[in-house]
Amino acid sequence: MTMDVVKPADDPQIGNLATPINSSGFTKALINNLPAYRAGLSAQRRGLEIGMAHGYLLYGPFTFTGPYRNSGVATIAGLVGAVSLVVILTICLSIYASSKPNKPISTVTTPKTPAELETSEGWSEFASSFLIGGVGGATVAFLLYTVIYSNALDAFGNLV
């Protein structure tokens, strides 16, 4: 079963005409493979995948551009900052879940929204998995950086 999320509009009056960008096979494949729209995933799996990506990608900016970037605790500060933001985002998701959200609106780019995210229970499962994935992703980024960076220092000395 395939679920095409991106498709050209049948009615030109709604303002989304088929262009080489929005109706290409590459765009359809890309959007249909994102965890938010991939068919057959549970709310927990969606939250885990999205949380892992967010936690992993948030570690770098907090480590290299944060206020402790030139100190010896930059790696720990980056981990704490990334985990803190993931916790804040999880609280926001939980607040949204408790607000009894409406069914997502079907649009041209997302005509078939996931059924799991149409209920408060689905959003709660998504939020809890997002927290686990986000903390795990930030921790993996921290461990990879500390292991690779410390090995590079041992191998190359002060050149790194």
Listed by start position, the domains of the chain span: 42-159
> What is the pLDDT at residue 38?
82
Dist CA 77 CA 16 (whole Å)? 44
Dist CA 68 CA 74 (whole Å)? 5
> What is the pLDDT at residue 15?
63
Determine the 3-state secondary structure of 154 from DSSP: helix
Dist CA 80 CA 69 (whole Å)? 13
Residue with tokens 């997502």: 104
Going from the C-alpha of 35 to that of each of 31, 70, 72, 120, the distances in angstroms are 9, 36, 36, 19
The residue among 46, 36, 23, 12 whose CA lies nearest residue 128 is 46
> What is the pLDDT at residue 70?
87
Which parts of the chain have pLDDT scores under 50? Answer: 160
Are 53 and 137 within 8 A, CB to CB?
A: yes
CATH number given to 42-159 = 1.20.1240.10
Cβ partners under 8 Å of residue 78, min gap 6: 59, 60, 62, 63, 64, 66, 142
- pTM of the complete model: 0.78
> What is the pLDDT at residue 160?
47
> What is the pLDDT at residue 5?
56
Helix (H) or strand (E) holding 66: none
